[in-house]
Amino acid sequence: MIPARFMHLSMRVRTGWLPSPSARLAARSSFQVRHHTSSHPRHQDVKHIGNFVAGALLTFSTLGFGLYILRNGAFDEFGPLTLGTTVTHIYGSTRHVHQQNKVGDSPSSSEAGLSSADAPISLASSYGSPDDVEEAIKELRHAFPGQHRVQTNKDSLERYGSSENSYHPSSPHTVIVHVKSTQDVVTVVNISRKYRVPLVPYSGATSLEGHYSGYPSGSICIDMSAMDQILEINETDGDLRCQAGARWDDINHVLKEKGIPLFFPSWKTIGGMIGTGCSGTNAVRYGTAKAEWFLNVTVVLPSGKVIKTRQRARKSSAGFDATKLFIGAEGTLGIVTEATLRLAPLVPTKVAMAQFPDVKQAVSAVQEILNTPCGPHIQCVELLDDHMMSAINTAGIVEKPYPVQDTLFFKLQGSPESIAETSRVVQQIVRSHGSTRFEFAATDEEAENLWENRKYALMSTLASNPGMKCWTTDVCVPVSKLPQLVYETKEDLTQAGLRFTIVGHVGDAVHRLIHRAIAMDGTCTGEHGVGIGKREYLVEELGEDTVELMKTVKRAIDPLNLFNPGKLYPESKSK
In terms of Cα–Cα distance, which of 365, 455, 361, 348 is closest to 412? 348
d(CA 182, CA 300): 7
Q: Can you give the pLDDT at residue 365?
A: 94
Q: Give DSSP secondary structure letters for 111-137.
A: TTT--GGGPPPPSS--PPPHHHHHHHH
What kind and span of H or E run contains 249? helix 248-257
Q: Compute the Cα dihedral for 437, 438, 444, 448 and give only its sign.
A: positive
Q: Give DSSP secondary structure letters for 342-376.
A: EPEE---EEEEEEEESSHHHHHHHHHHHHTSTTGG
Plot region of 73 (φ>0 → left; ψ -120 to 50 → alpha; else → beta) = left
- How many angstroms separate the Cα of 197 from the Cα of each of 144, 547, 556? 17, 25, 18
pLDDT tens, the chain, 575 aa long: 433 333 444 333 333 333 333 333 333 333 333 333 333 333 333 333 333 322 322 222 222 222 222 233 332 333 222 222 222 222 233 323 333 333 333 333 333 333 333 444 454 568 999 999 999 999 999 999 988 999 999 999 988 888 776 767 778 999 999 999 999 999 999 999 999 999 999 987 777 777 788 898 999 999 999 999 999 999 999 999 999 999 989 999 999 999 999 988 866 899 988 988 877 667 767 777 777 899 999 999 999 999 999 999 988 888 999 999 999 899 999 999 999 999 999 989 999 999 999 888 998 999 999 999 999 999 988 888 888 888 788 877 777 888 999 999 999 999 999 999 999 999 999 999 999 999 998 788 878 777 776 666 666 666 666 766 666 666 677 778 878 877 787 777 677 666 666 666 554 433 346 767 777 777 766 677 777 777 878 888 888 898 899 999 999 999 999 999 989 888 776 54
Pairing of strands 378-384, 503-505: antiparallel
Q: Is 107 exposed, middle or buried (0-12, 13-18, 19+ CB in 10 A)?
A: middle
Q: Can you give the pLDDT at residue 501?
A: 63
DSSP reduced 3-state for 6? strand
Q: Can you give the pLDDT at residue 404?
A: 92
Q: Can you give the pLDDT at residue 483?
A: 80
